[in-house]
Amino acid sequence: MKTQNKTITLALTGASGMPYALRLLQCLLESGSRVYLLYSQAAQIVAKQEMELTLPSRPQEAQQMLCERYNVSPEQLKVFGRDEWFAPVASGTNPADAMVVCPCTMGTLGSIAAGLSDNLIERAADVMLKESRKLIIVPREAPFSVIHLENMLKLARAGAVILPANPGFYHHPQSVDEVVDFIVARILDHLGVEHQLMARWGDGE
């Protein structure tokens, strides 16, 4: 059964695919979910390059900017820095309902698979695994090396969902936005968040 008003940790890393991340953030906020947002320094570079979006380095400034951008309150969208070890996501005593790493670099994926916690993104993912909460990894790389595949298999065996940013085309997308929505819709499905981004298979037009 799908429910709204979840608490979702969304982590952005430096892989290409920032349109997926920002569309997912928008949809989560529109659904009424609370979002804990984390992003790496490399993600800031990619956001600027792909979306012409400047993500401030200071979490407080980023939170204010994004709350204004999406017209939500700071209670619904909280931004944490990579070294904020007192953030809720850093402890198993206060985990989010689910976490998505989108887009996910192979470096971040490898660190999570190895159980490293050198920054808040890695620690938050480690918490989700140890607390048996849903962790969705959205890798964006091509081709995958054997090391990448072994790390993904390791995470899948640990309970993570590996959801590559590989859109389908059977729904005949007419724009890049519709291609993006295909992946975002699949992520939302796994989070149990209702959406109307695309028609479901077998439902017709």
The answer to whether the annotation marks 192 as part of a ligand binding site is: no
9 among the known binding-site residues? no
Tell whether residue 132 is among the known ligand binding residues. Answer: no
204: left (phi over 0), alpha (psi -120 to 50) or beta: left
Annotation-wise, does 106 bind a ligand? yes
- Give the whole-angstrom CA distance, residue 39 versus residue 80: 8
Instruction: Classify residue 4 by its DSSP letter.
Output: S
User: Taking the alpha carbons of 117, 140, 61, 67 in that order, is the dihedral positive or negative?
Assistant: negative
107 assigned to a ligand binding site? yes
Q: Could you give the angle at the alpha carbon of 23 between the alpha carbons of 143 and 62, nearest 5°?
A: 105
Q: How far apart are CA 114 and CA 43, in angstroms?
A: 21
Question: What is d(CA 111, CA 71) in angstroms, rounded to the nearest whole number?
Answer: 34
- Closest alpha carbon to 11 in 33, 34, 35: 35
16 known ligand binder: yes
Annotated ligand binding at 111? The verdict is: no
Is 69 annotated for ligand binding? no
7 is in an annotated binding site: no
Q: DSSP H helical segments within 16-105, as ranges?
A: 18-30, 41-51, 59-70
Residue 200 DSSP class: P
Annotated binding-site members for dimethylallyl phosphate: 170, 186
Binding residues: 14-16, 40, 105-108, 140, 170, 186
Pick out the residues of the known binding site for FMN.
Answer: 14-16, 40, 105-108, 140
